Structure 1
Amino acid sequence: MPLPQQRRFPRRKTSVRASRDLVVEVLAEWQLTPLIEDMRLCVSELATNALLYGVPPGREFAVRQSATDELVRLEIRDSGDGRPVCRNPGGESCSGRGLYLADQVAAEFGTDHHVAGKTVRVAFKRPPVP
């Protein structure tokens, strides 16, 4: 199994793109390219939520990827107080779909609360080796 990968990102708009790039790079290295589109969507939504609602000024968020024989996991951890809420907004809404989308495309979706902050995680079934 490949070793877990983790990187921290500062509270900046550019960190969303950088976290997407990291996820794509790691998946390509692990030869798990069939998961790229769905995991790119998830990291984009979860990192954006961390920046908007979770990361206090001057702090960072962490992106972690790991893989087992069955699952490929993506976790976003921040140190903020907010509690993520998965909603299904109406068709007229311009925002609020991020967690809902992540929940819909992933095989697993969840949140872990810590003394300081939380981790929002998704997992995907590992594709068969060609």
Structure 2
Amino acid sequence: MMVLRAHRIADSAIDDNWISVFGQAWPTTGRWPSPLEDIPESARCVLRSDLESPRIARDFARTTLADWELCPLAEDVTVAVSELVTNALRHGLRGALHSAQAWPIQLVLLRHDRRLLAVVTDPGDDVPTRTEPDHFTESGRGLQIVEAVSGTWGWARLASGGKAVWAAFETRS
């Protein structure tokens, strides 16, 4: 049975640093987009290590984007979210079984005035690497797909362990 907790993060829960929605200190390494001055609207979905998690994450993203009146982004965002959650399940939980129970995979959506950021956290320490796909199997294309549908993507180690992998989408042209 999957336990799913999804909620909107209230503005009062966010301080001056937009990364605070993760309850983490500023990451020590990785590649993050520049923080913007406005306070983002945020939504979070906590997922278990379950085969249904990519579908649940897509549904959560689609519903959140509809609530935020960002439906034109839904197709690209849901594809990226699905790939990021799948990568977290395949690679982010490897060797981190105890951590996965204490710190499950999270999907966080941050909506700024001009940008939407989709972030997936996991307890793994492996650096996400865009690789050439194996043309004989259905694997190895995840980050290439994320790169193709988003404006940019990146990752960062979190101060408490684990990492966050993100994809950014422009909300205005």
Which residue, 76, 83, 87 being the options, matches 1:45?
83
Partner Cα separation in structure 2 for residue 108 and residue 85 of structure 1: 14
Q: Secondary structure at the match of 1:80?
A: coil
Q: Which digits, 9 at most, give the CA deviation of each residue in 1:76-103, with x for residues without a partner?
A: 0001122211123254442100011101
1:83 corresponding residue in structure 2: 127
In the alignment, structure 1 residue 96 sits paired with structure 2 residue 140: yes
Q: Secondary structure at the match of 2:63?
A: helix
Partner Cα separation in structure 1 for residue 54 and residue 134 of structure 2: 25
Alignment identity in percent? 31
TM-score (norm 2): 0.69
Residue 9 of structure 1 aligns to which amino acid in structure 2?
L
Q: Secondary structure at the match of 2:54?
A: helix
1:43 to partner: Cα distance: 0.6
In the alignment, structure 1 residue 105 sits paired with structure 2 residue 149: yes
Partner Cα separation in structure 2 for residue 73 and residue 114 of structure 1: 17
* Native 8 Å contact 1:34 1:127 kept in 2: no
Most deviating of 75-84 and 24-33: 75-84
In the alignment, structure 1 residue 24 sits paired with structure 2 residue 69: no
Residue 117 of structure 1 aligns to which amino acid in structure 2?
G
In the alignment, structure 1 residue 8 sits paired with structure 2 residue 52: no
In the alignment, structure 1 residue 70 sits paired with structure 2 residue 114: yes
Partner Cα separation in structure 2 for residue 34 and residue 91 of structure 1: 31
Larger radius of gyration: 2
Q: Structure 2, unaligned stretches of length 5 or more?
A: 1-38
Taking a change above 3 Å as real, the CA distance of residues 83 and 2 of structure 1, as seen in their structure-2 partners, is: closer
Count the aligned residue pairs. Answer: 128
1:32 to partner: Cα distance: 0.3
Q: Secondary structure at the match of 1:4?
A: strand
- Aligned pairs for 1:54-65 (under 5 A) are 54-55=92-93, 56-57=96-97, 58-59=100-101, 60-65=104-109
1:47 to partner: Cα distance: 0.2
